[in-house]
């Protein structure tokens, strides 16, 4: 590390103490989140997710109380932020994030992307342990907000914070998802999980509530995913992307097989890497054809594409991305889970039907109608104040405030480094400004 690290890095004992205390705080927060989630079961004693799974099996009926699209997306995003916060506390994260995550992401990128990446590198190296804890705390903070306050006035603030944080990750740590370099493919998580986090946060912030129950929104979601896969299938055909050569294609699966994991998980990726090295034309041709076929199915026949699409997504997540969390320095489960979340959301909204008056709220049957139920209006729940908070939300509010305090506390030495003339971060910042 550079000279900035020597000036600001704590001793080995203080590092261990800081990591231990931070891990304890985050672990306790995660345990409390899970306990509150368990307490927040419905009256029948079954988890609320059971209603969602049951509703997927009944295509001709949708109960607005059982499935709320905005709630589904908010809680899903909160769970992913919670997982990311735990991944941030892995023992090797403070030491290996720069050489194993940021540096590879900006390698071979345009100069302005490299400058942003170096800005993040110097920012991290000034105080790696504290910055690691800061990242973990802010992600728990976002998780608590999305899970417990998805229908509260605080949801707007949480969505804005998530937009800013995910955008910083995508621009600096993920190098724009490597979309500006040859070899970008959905197999390795392009265009990046943080970009999908950003998109979900934007939707939660700006989309009026009545449109969350519009069939057209569901169609837009599935078609966008289908066109995304068609796009990556077409891109993988171009010779300059390098997938027809054994080296470029096989390195995807070879890197996955090198991660620390059980042998039965790495064995298929290792064998596929050998096949791609020996017969790249056949392997890439098969991948391209399957990707294009599934993408076309998702666009035109989304219901028939459920099993093929989810299977393809899972295989790519496993063999190409190694689930995004293995190896000791994975920061998120990659973009495949968010793609699946958007796909399920879009597919579920396309199953909207109009109820009879006695059965439930009227739902949109075609593009000319939007639900008229008072439960689905913009002002139904989002303006709720503190007096409407339940016990679970009060506990969530306590966690929310605690994580906010922890985030601000850990940010203090980082802010001091920003204004220190001796830090590498400050020199990088000046370089960006000039």
Residue 368 CB neighbours (<10 A): 6
Q: Cα angle at 268 between 267 and 272, to 5 degrees?
A: 120
3-class DSSP state of 375: helix
Measured in whole angstroms, the distance separating CA 89 from the mean position of its chain's CA atoms is 17
Instruction: State the pLDDT at residue 335.
Output: 92
Half-sphere exposure of 103 toward its Cβ, with a 13 Å CA cutoff?
10
Residue 234 CB neighbours (<10 A): 13
Token pair in block for residue 180: 């500006």
3-class DSSP state of 397: helix
Instruction: State the pLDDT at residue 394.
Output: 56
Residues facing residue 152 across a β-bridge: 384
Each residue's pLDDT expressed in tens, for the chain with a length of 434 residues: 333 333 333 443 444 444 444 444 554 555 555 555 444 444 334 444 444 444 444 444 444 456 789 999 999 999 999 999 988 888 888 888 888 888 888 888 888 888 888 888 888 888 888 888 888 889 998 998 899 888 888 889 999 999 999 999 999 888 888 888 888 889 888 899 999 999 999 999 998 888 888 888 899 999 999 999 999 999 999 988 889 988 888 888 988 888 878 888 889 999 999 999 999 999 999 999 999 999 999 999 998 999 999 999 999 999 988 888 776 678 889 999 999 999 999 998 887 654 333 333 344 433 434 443 434 444 344 444 444 455 555 555 556 566 566 555 555 555 555 555 445 444 444 444 44
Instruction: State the pLDDT at residue 383.
Output: 46
Residue 40 CB neighbours (<10 A): 17
pTM, 2 dp: 0.74
Widest CA span of the chain, in angstroms? 72
Residue 236 CB neighbours (<10 A): 23
Rounded Cα distance, 23 and 121, in Å: 23
Residue located via tokens 């909204």: 349
Rounded Cα distance, 396 and 400, in Å: 6
Instruction: State the pLDDT at residue 95.
Output: 84
Residues facing residue 384 across a β-bridge: 152
CA nearest to 191, candidates 163, 232, 223: 232
CA-to-CA separations, 43 to 132, 256, 394, in angstroms, rounded: 40, 44, 19
CB-based contact 131:414 (threshold 8 Å): yes
Residue 46 CB neighbours (<10 A): 11
CA-to-CA separations, 164 to 152, 247, 397, 432, in angstroms, rounded: 20, 37, 21, 19
Rounded Cα distance, 336 and 185, in Å: 12
CB-based contact 67:371 (threshold 8 Å): no
Residue 109 CB neighbours (<10 A): 18
Token pair in block for residue 95: 């030491």
CA nearest to 349, candidates 364, 361, 338: 364
**What is the b/e burial string over 206-231, where b = at least 16 CB atoms within 10 angstroms of the residue's CB?**
ebebbbbbbbebbbebbeebbebbbe
Instruction: State the pLDDT at residue 386.
Output: 43
Rounded Cα distance, 48 and 70, in Å: 14
**What is the b/e burial string over 267-303, where b = at least 16 CB atoms within 10 angstroms of the residue's CB?**
eebbebbebbbeebeebbeebbebbbbbbbbbbeebe
Token pair in block for residue 359: 């059965």
DSSP 356: P
Q: List the chain domain ranges.
A: 25-42+60-182+191-207+373-434, 214-352
State residue 8 phi and psi, 5-degree precision. Answer: -115, -15
Instruction: State the pLDDT at residue 415.
Output: 53
Instruction: State the pLDDT at residue 329.
Output: 75
Instruction: State the pLDDT at residue 241.
Output: 86
Give the helix/strand (H/E) hosting 427.
Answer: helix 424-433
């Amino acid at each position: 590390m550079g000279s900035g690290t020597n000036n600001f890095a704590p001793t080995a004992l203080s590092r261990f103490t800081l990591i231990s205390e931070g891990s304890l705080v985050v672990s306790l927060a995660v345990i409390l989140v899970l306990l509150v989630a368990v307490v927040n079961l419905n009256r029948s004693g079954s988890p609320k997710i059971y209603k969602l799974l049951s509703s997927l099996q009944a295509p001709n009926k949708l109960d607005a109380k059982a499935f709320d699209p905005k709630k589904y997306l908010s809680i899903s995003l909160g769970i992913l932020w919670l997982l990311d916060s735990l991944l941030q506390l892995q023992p090797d994260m403070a030491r290996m994030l720069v050489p194993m995550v940021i540096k590879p992401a900006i390698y071979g990128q345009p100069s302005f992307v490299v400058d942003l990446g170096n800005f993040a590198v110097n920012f991290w190296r000034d105080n790696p342990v504290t910055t690691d804890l800061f990242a973990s705390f802010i992600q728990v903070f976002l998780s608590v907000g999305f899970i417990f306050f998805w229908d509260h006035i605080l949801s707007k603030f949480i969505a804005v914070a998530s937009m800013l944080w995910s955008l910083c990750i995508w621009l600096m740590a993920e190098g724009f998802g490597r979309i500006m370099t040859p070899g970008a493919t959905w197999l390795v998580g392009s265009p990046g999980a943080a970009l999908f986090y950003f998109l979900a946060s934007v939707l939660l912030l700006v989309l009026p509530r009545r449109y969350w129950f519009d069939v057209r929104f569901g169609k837009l979601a599935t078609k966008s995913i289908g066109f995304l896969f068609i796009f990556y299938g077409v891109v993988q055909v171009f010779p300059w992307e390098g997938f027809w050569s054994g080296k470029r294609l096989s390195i995807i699966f070879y890197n996955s097989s090198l991660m620390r994991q059980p042998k039965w998980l790495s064995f298929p990726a290792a064998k596929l890497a050998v096949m791609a090295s020996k017969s790249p034309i056949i392997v890439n041709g098969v991948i391209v054809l399957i990707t294009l076929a599934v993408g076309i199915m998702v666009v035109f026949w989304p219901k028939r594409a459920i099993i093929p699409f989810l299977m393809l997504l899972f295989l790519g997540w496993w063999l190409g991305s190694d689930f995004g969390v293995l190896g000791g320095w994975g920061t998120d489960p990659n973009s495949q889970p968010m793609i699946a979340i958007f796909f399920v959301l879009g597919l579920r909204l396309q199953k909207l039907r109009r109820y009879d008056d006695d059965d439930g709220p009227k739902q949109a049957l075609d593009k000319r109608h939007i639900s008229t139920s008072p439960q689905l209006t913009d002002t139904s729940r989002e303006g709720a104040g503190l007096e409407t908070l339940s016990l679970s939300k009060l506990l969530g509010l306590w966690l929310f405030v605690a994580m906010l305090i922890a985030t601000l506390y850990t940010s203090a030495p980082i802010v001091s480094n920003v204004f220190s003339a001796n830090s590498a971060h400050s020199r990088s910042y000046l370089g960006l400004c000039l």
